[in-house]
Structure 1
Amino acid sequence: MKRLLLALAALLTVTACQAQNPLALGKDLRTADPSGHVWPDGRMWLYTSHDEECQADFHMKDWTAFSSTDLVNWTNHGAVLSVKDLKWADDYAWAPDAAYKNGRYYLVFPAGTGVKDRQNPKNSTKWMGIGIAESESPAGPFKDMIGAPLWRKPYANDPVLFIDDDGRAYLYSRTSGVNYLVAEMADDMRSIKGELQKMDMGGYEPPMEGPWVFKRGGLYYFTMPEHNRILTYYTGTSPKGPWTYRGVIMDAEGGNNHHSIVQYKSQWILFYHRWLDVPGAACAKKQRHVAAEYLHFNEDGSIRRVERTKEGVGDFAQRVGAR
């Protein structure tokens, strides 16, 4: 009987460890737009936006960082930057990204001013731009070294930084009027070289939000929430394209879905966010939570469709430990 009870207890412990979706980033903490990176310290780092509890709209004030070695137990490093630290914006701390270059860490982020009138858009005064901050530590604090956005026109948000194998850095974002733009960053990461450039997307350019760019082997991947909901992707042989549309990574679930894709300890991981009911919350509405799933490739480099699961990457330690 004692052996049976011990076996049951062990099974329950394993099951509890494996049921990790959404990620356990903190009780009563609402996070979204996860940007995943593996830095020289060997840890998995996540940089996220931070929703206010039951926020009426996307009036968000800071960006948060988390790190882990097993994708189950996460260290909350708190706010690494806040709109209070900026001279040029006071609201809309939306989807961030990060990069490591020149021995320093960089946080690229959208922020803005004004008010968006959803009932009467002509009365809106909202504006958003892209900022970049620096730190000597992946945990921050990050400092806005230029005290201004990288550009003021066009209106832009949802930036992503990609550092290629040769050390050159590329910035992509969502912009008003025209999308699918890229800019190469200056070597000091404090400005862009020249103008934003329109990329060749092979004739398919649906509305989109926060893109994510990564490289696997010799193939570049441009991924995005198509129509703000469905995760889809393109591939190409250059970080500037031209790109070929390849299809769906993850179907829509309801609200928007920002993501990142990164390899960690031999496993490819898709980080994303879900809109879920929160028992006991102060409001009866779905709120955002960061989640993760394993991502797999076919032999030709195409990405297999990913399904949302309750288990997520809860067995990550067992998977990498078996190798």
Structure 2
Amino acid sequence: IGRLLLPISEVMEESSEGKVNIAKVLKNAGGKVEKYQSYVNELRSEIEDDILKTAQEEVEAYKKIFDIKEESQYIFNLLSEDILIILNSSSFEAAAALNRSLIFLLFNADNFKDEALRKIFANKELIGEAKISIDDKEVAPTVSAWLKDFIKNNGSSLFDDLILAQYLNTSSNARALKSKEKETLGNLIRFYKNITFFPESMNEIPPQKWQIFPFDATSYWQEIEGSVKNKKQLGLPTESEIIEEEAWSDDDVLSEKDFKPENYDDSKELRILRELLSSFPPASLERKAINEEIKRLERNKK
């Protein structure tokens, strides 16, 4: 029982309404939890390897449509002068597209991580209005200065959200920030962590949920789902029903594939993405990004 259930105990405890504690049950039955720890460690290692393999496969598919030099320069410019635009953005499409590019470049572009970090640590954009104190000196609250202050207080090793929360709420510099400014600073430090320690910073996170620039997509998906539900309640056709043919190219038709409407056997995420397509012009970056995500999900279903 220990060999079977302990490796998945965390998942069971998170998903069970009764919060089943497998380790406790095993102990009550006279078993020794530590006896099975090697099986737990082995499963975790296999999961991490599988996550990395899946991500690398997606990267290989992305290579065909990606210009490394052009995209690298675009991102370096953002990190040098406009990092706050991204950190404060409410655009799900922009954040998702940028994250795909960052992950691709981290895997494939030589020295990308080092150059990206150099750009960030040279960034002079301000978070907050008042000067901050570093090594007994008053300095402007730049992106560069905030990162140096965090590292001075917490070191340069991989850290968790608890360390970040403690810094934001207890350090004299961060405590003086307004709520929105503190949120921006938190996102900056998470971004620094995600890129500096990549891919280790993505351990135990499914590839489809990887984020380099952190953003909250929950409210976005809820809004889209609400829009779809309202149209169905009113008896109106949804965008996916109107543009169903868009997912099929001329090549699909010429290859004589059996046509089966996708939304008859589809995941929630795919349906939502198709609903979203019609919100953007045909040549827009957002529409391109959504189409790429649809293709990726469809590949995974095969």
| TM bracket, shorter-chain basis | under 0.3
Structure number with larger C-alpha Rg? 2
TM-score calculated relative to the size of structure 2: 0.23
TM-score calculated relative to the size of structure 1: 0.22
Higher share in strand: 1
